[in-house]
Amino acid sequence: MSIYEQLKQTADKFPDKTAFSDGTDSLSFAELLAASQNVAAAVAVRAKQEPVVVCMDKHPNAVAAYIGVLAAGAIYVPLDRELGQARVAAILGKLAPRLVVADETSAAFIAEMELENPPETLLYSEIPASSYFAPPPELPDNQPAYIMYTSGSTGTPKGVAVSHRALIDYIYSLSEVLGVTEETVFGNQTPLYMDASLKDIYPTIFFGATTYLIPHGLFTTPLRVVEYLNRYSINTIFWVVSALTLVSGFGTLKKLIPESLTTIAFGGEVFPVAQFHLWREALPNARFLNLYGPTEITGVCAWYEVEGEITDGIPIGKPFANTEILLHNGEILVRGPRVALGYWGEPDKTAEVFVQNPNHNLYRDIVYRTGDLARYNENGDLVFVSRADHQIKHLGYRVELGEIEATAGKIEGLASVCCVFDKETGRITMFYAGDIETKELSAALRKLLPRYLQPDRVKKIDEMPKTGIGKIDRVSLLALAKGN
């Protein structure tokens, strides 16, 4: 059953129930269905089986736009002003979509860009109510559903294309693990342009649950986050670890307990054990789940439910149903129907990491190479060890240090540049040599990169330290960063 059909079924069952809300504006399932149909009717006459960008702020209407694009048989590409003009322009330039669905502020934001082939912008507020929408003939389920952009080491973001089959399979197995029912109330933390938001949006539609889209700005004030959770009786969250530690890190849980929470899932980063214990002490009866997986396998592929004492790190556990994890020379390879279709328009990059199963060559059996190194512990659970390359997690987002370096390399006056990441503090330090002041360089970087890709510190040095074979000496740079 298609995602649109799922929504129709849920809207039949729970027409007046709140589907999505940000605390101010809400859409019931019947309203969400009607809004999606309006979008679908408007999109269907302008686009076929092609990418349609949805550039909207985090709001229930954005979800209606995604479903509308899907119902029209097209592929949605979620973007947000939060990513900054340079990045959104880079994606629009590379993807060259014919159509963008936008709210008013985002439409103005796109209009300011100098794009070679500006797309048609369809204003969400001007989409007419359609009295009738007949979905196009259903496409095979390996048709792409969405493209999500992620950091690319060469300086341009990569678009991960994921099929309807993968998305639906993911939502069913994830919902089973989380125990999603119509009683579930999600508190969404992650931005909608990241795959992490799938696990709030789609289980809500499939099971008639409710999702509160927590305003991004609340995450500077941890007590208000907890008040928000309590006000809306939110019982299920799946947040990046940084958001959870923001709350636990200031003693918030000693002042106010998010007492409605029963399921706390987390991922994106390693959870510091001391912070994890603060959460567990505050909510001893809640379920705690570590979820692991990259965008390229549709969200997450392994899970671990914390039971008993945790002393040295929380395992990433075991694969979801219908997924196999292979450890090949210590690297996690993922196999199964949720492996993405590849990087949109980039067959070479796709071929580098979506590869034939190294264990045989009897038939086509594509696995995704995560670049994550892991091992099994004595209980047979997978434990994350490290990355095989320079990819890091910054503020819970996936970051290629190479992308920051390549972007900085475009700035005039820079002779050489290298970024190092201090795991203990979670900070990126950029070292550079060249004829530009630190302040100017930081200002230029802020224009080019979204916040999560910006270095936390920028330091000028006279000369890059080199190793014996002439490569930049990252080890001494890291020591220098730690010394500061």
Partner 1 sequence: MEKLIEILNNVRDDVDYETCDTLIDDGIYVSFDIISLVAALCEEYDVEIGAEELIPENFNSAKALYEMVQRLIEEQN
Structure tokens at 442: 């930081």
Asked if 467 interacts with partner 1 (CB under 8 A), we say no
Asked if 51 interacts with partner 1 (CB under 8 A), we say no
Rounded to whole angstroms, the Cα distance separating 301 from 316 reads: 9
Asked if 459 interacts with partner 1 (CB under 8 A), we say no
Asked if 350 interacts with partner 1 (CB under 8 A), we say no
| Helix residue ranges, H only, 285-429 | 347-353, 401-408
Q: What is the DSSP string of 156-196?
A: S-EEEEEEHHHHHHHHHHHHHHHT--TT-EEEE-S-TTSGG
Q: Name which of 371, 382, 323 is nearest 170 in CA terms.
A: 323
The phi and psi torsions of 18 (rounded to 5 degrees) equal -70, 125
Rounded to whole angstroms, the Cα distance separating 443 from 31 reads: 43
| Binding track over 399-428 against partner 1, x by CB under 8 A | ---------------------------xx-
Rounded to whole angstroms, the Cα distance separating 389 from 369 reads: 12
Asked if 217 interacts with partner 1 (CB under 8 A), we say yes
Asked if 216 interacts with partner 1 (CB under 8 A), we say yes
Exactly one of 456, 459, 464, 472 binds partner 1 (CB under 8 A); that residue is 456
Cα four-point dihedral sign 369, 372, 377, 380: negative
Exactly one of 246, 291, 306, 419 binds partner 1 (CB under 8 A); that residue is 246
Site for partner 1 in 250-279 (CB under 8 A): 250-252, 255-256
Asked if 106 interacts with partner 1 (CB under 8 A), we say no
In DSSP terms, which residues pair with 376 in a beta bridge? 382
CB 239 → partner 1: shortest distance, Å? Answer: 11
Asked if 187 interacts with partner 1 (CB under 8 A), we say no
Asked if 23 interacts with partner 1 (CB under 8 A), we say no
Asked if 398 interacts with partner 1 (CB under 8 A), we say no
Asked if 191 interacts with partner 1 (CB under 8 A), we say no
Q: Are 77 and 54 in contact (CB under 8 A)?
A: yes
Rounded to whole angstroms, the Cα distance separating 9 from 56 reads: 26
Exactly one of 17, 46, 98, 224 binds partner 1 (CB under 8 A); that residue is 224
Asked if 360 interacts with partner 1 (CB under 8 A), we say no
CB 415 → partner 1: shortest distance, Å? Answer: 21
Residues in binding contact with partner 1, number by CB under 8 A: 28
For partner 1, which is the closer residue by CB, 115 or 443?
A: 443
Asked if 443 interacts with partner 1 (CB under 8 A), we say yes
Site for partner 1 in 75-104 (CB under 8 A): none
CB 194 → partner 1: shortest distance, Å? Answer: 15
For partner 1, which is the closer residue by CB, 239 or 343?
A: 239
Q: Are 269 and 240 in contact (CB under 8 A)?
A: yes
Q: Are 20 and 197 in contact (CB under 8 A)?
A: no
For partner 1, which is the closer residue by CB, 223 or 326?
A: 223
Q: What is the DSSP string of 267-311?
A: ESSPPPHHHHHHHHHH-TTSEEEEEE--GGGSS--EEEE--S---
Q: Which residues bind partner 1 (CB under 8 A)?
A: 216-217, 219-224, 242-243, 246, 249-252, 255-256, 395, 426-427, 438-439, 442-443, 446, 451, 456-457
